[in-house]
Amino acid sequence: PPSEEIKTGEDEDEEDNDALLKENESPDVRRDKPITGEQIELFANKLGEQWKILAPYLEIKDSEIRQIECDSEDVKMRAKQLLVAWQDQEGAHATTDNL
What would the pLDDT profile of 21-65 be if each residue is shown by its tens digit?
A: 454 443 433 457 899 999 999 999 999 999 999 999 999 999 999
Q: Does residue 3 belong to any structural domain of this protein?
A: no
Q: Does residue 14 belong to any structural domain of this protein?
A: no
Looking at residue 26, its pLDDT comes to 39
Cα gap 34→37, rounded to integer Å: 10
Into how many domains does the chain fold? 1
Residue ranges making up the domain that contains 59: 37-93
Looking at residue 1, its pLDDT comes to 55
Whether the Cβ atoms of residue 30 and residue 96 lie closer than 8 Å to each other: no
Q: Does residue 18 belong to any structural domain of this protein?
A: no
Q: Does residue 59 belong to any structural domain of this protein?
A: yes
Q: Does residue 10 belong to any structural domain of this protein?
A: no
Looking at residue 11, its pLDDT comes to 52
Model's pTM, two decimal places? 0.67
Looking at residue 18, its pLDDT comes to 52
pLDDT over 70, % of the chain: 69
Per-residue pLDDT for 10 more than 70?
no
Lowest-pLDDT choice from 2-16, 42-56, 79-93: 2-16
CA-based nearest residue to 94, from 46, 37, 55: 37
Find the CATH number of the domain harbouring 70: 1.10.533.10
Q: Does residue 64 belong to any structural domain of this protein?
A: yes
Residue 25 identity (one-letter amino acid): E
Cα gap 20→13, rounded to integer Å: 11
- Across all residues in the chain, what is the average pLDDT? 80
